[in-house]
Structure 1
């Protein structure tokens, strides 16, 4: 009965039914009240703790793609994109066309939201069985370790799926800024969609024909300072359930780490760039050629950090599975089964963040 109710809600565009999450305290408030202590529930198990200095390959850097060249069909840049997707699953894009003014206003609006009093932020708190709003997702038990961060997540595209009860509309300029940022980032996403289509051996508009118009959700993250950054994680290791994700980082703080060949690598921000990472849906569509990569966020003692993750995904009712063009030659046999996207994403939100464990159930070899 519950599943039918969830399906009906999704069909009405309410975006209910993706997942439930327990309410948790605001980490920002924990730090405001006591900046020196780290509650036990935030202290990660030894195996999950971040490596602040040793064994972190600072010398390696993820690929950088000139997006203006990519948009012009430059063959060298397309090959760089192919290599970045195959070997890294993460890359930074420069000259992407999102105006610097829009980037800066978006960062300022995120900062303004998290500067609001707790009682004001709580007006936009997540509801039951709802992934949108202020709070946390992926908290599925009362005893799991918690992340050292707060967030607000909003569905932004298509506009008719926006639920403004979760938008802080009384915050001057917030709505207009998010809408402007969403619009400009969506143009980047559509260009990326076209290039991924070409890389996967179909027409430039092939994925659009198969998967429909791109949907979009924006997660705004706040990572408070921590007196013991070696004990906590801003966000636990995970891969994204999206087609791909575009991340706007603080320019002067390295907090994002990706797992490359079993080693954690810090992603040093390039000012005004966007970080792009391949999501689970693209891994499935590409039959594993382009893999979603584990990544996490770390904290520091000196300065809070913010980031804006824009998730790009297909419609709930679309079926995802390996493209025929990706099951030839070295990409045989089929490695993933077909699954409706909403069923995949529900499965993901039923679990805590734990690397790529949530992808196993869609792999044929795991059956």
Structure 2
């Protein structure tokens, strides 16, 4: 089904202070009512420097590995990473070009509009059902890896330093990802390349710029509806000041606090499969507010679609039997389930 835009964009409705039209209103949700300010969640801060420096003490290493195990094995499945090696100036710069792009006139942004049924480009969430509730947001999604798969015609030329900034940021995120894969493997007492090998040399990375304008009724709409990520791992740079991300822990929603130069890390469905369900892909959503726009930059890392992924053999035994079958191109499975209202992970269970 082609994208169906509201008669007015969320940005236009935000500027005029209009109430959200019916297609944006969340009426019944199995994920609970919208709370714009639930309690702050129990999401630990993990220092990645101990994983990348050989001089780290065994005590420091075990302490950070324990935080990884605790956070990723809980329903929350999320932590905030510091010591990631990306300069504050680059993090601020990627936020700056995000705001500049979304501030452009509509006709300029439309030059990079997403085609029907495609994931890349500028637009709102894809509409796959007449009953779908629309999200109060705009997005710009771009594939950054493999580099030969970049569609540079969709990479904005304004602001002038957008492309250069995104390229530098993506390169840094790729390095962070490699550190994380090895640390996560180590936290499970696995050989450090156990996950790297499943992702393959042609692993995918898509970066999505998210724009959430203020909404007159944040209690009625989602910036992004509740979902788990189809990725292997997701690395999110939050807005420097404005909260909005929420995660379910033990059946209750919690706010993810803003730490200006930290990266929020959560696992996606494909790492839940690879870890044989030991580590979780958390349910999360984004809420809006009445006063301030919010931006974020999410990087989704997925295995090479041609690679068959499955639970690491060392995580399967009599006490912990195999939970998931091996699959290829989980992204397609996930998208088809989304259209049908199914939980993708449940369809690949043994």
- Same fold, TM exceeding 0.5? yes
Aligned match of 2:114: 126
C-alpha distance in 2, partners of 1:116/1:222? 12
From 72, 75, 78, the equivalent of 1:85 is: 72
Post-superposition shift, 1:169?
A: 2.0
SS in 1 for 2:170: helix
**Counterparts of 2:3 and 2:131, CA distance in 1:** 11
| TM-score, normalised via structure 1 length | 0.87
Q: 1:198 aligns with which of 175, 186, 189?
A: 186
1:349 aligns with 2:335: yes
Q: Trace 1:29-108 onto structure 2 (pairs within 5 A).
A: 29-32=12-15, 34-47=16-29, 48-53=32-37, 56-58=38-40, 60-72=41-53, 74-87=61-74, 88-108=76-96
| Residue 114 of structure 1 pairs with residue 98 of structure 2 | no
- d(CA) in 2 for partners of 1:271 and 1:167? 26
CA contact (8 A) 1:221 1:307 kept: yes
- Once the two structures are overlaid, the 10-residue window that deviates more, 123-132 or 260-269, is 123-132
1:138 CA displacement: 4.3
CA deviation vs aligned residue, 1:197-236 (integer Å, no higher than 9, x gap): 2234432123223331342110100001001100001000
- Quick one: distance in 2 between partners of 1:319 and 1:209? 11
**Conserved in 1, the CA contact under 8 Å of 2:139 and 2:208?**
yes
Residue number in structure 2 paired with 1:309: 298
- Please give the alpha-carbon distance, in whole angstroms, between the structure 2 residues aligned to 1:288 and 1:113: 39
- Between 181-190 and 22-31, the greater mean CA deviation after superposition: 22-31
Q: Distance in 2 between matches of 1:273 and 1:354?
A: 36
Matched-pair contact (CA < 8 Å) for 1:138–1:349: no
Whole-angstrom CA distance in 1 between matches of 2:340 and 2:73:
22
| Whole-angstrom CA distance in 1 between matches of 2:177 and 2:205 | 9
Structure 2 CA distance for aligned equivalents of residues 173 and 204 of structure 1: 36
The two structures, once aligned, show a CA RMSD in angstroms of 1.9
- The answer to whether 1:230 aligns with 2:222 is no
Establish whether residue 244 from structure 1 lines up as the match of residue 226 from structure 2: no
Aligned to 1:169: 157
Alignment deviations for residues 13-54 of structure 1 (CA, whole Å, 9 cap, x no partner):
xxxxxxx7623243213323x32321111010143541134x
1:288–1:356: structure 2 CA closer, same or farther, 3 Å change rule? Answer: farther
User: Who is 1:16 aligned against?
Assistant: none
> Aligned equivalents of 1:321 and 1:355: distance in 2?
23
2:349 match: 363
- Tell me the distance in 1 between the aligned counterparts of 2:257 and 2:80: 10
Kept in 1, the 8 Å contact 2:43–2:78? The answer is yes
Q: Work out whether 1:326 is the aligned partner of 2:315.
A: yes
Report how far residue 350 of structure 1 moved: 3.0
Distance 1:352 1:102 in 2: 35
SS in 1 for 2:122: strand
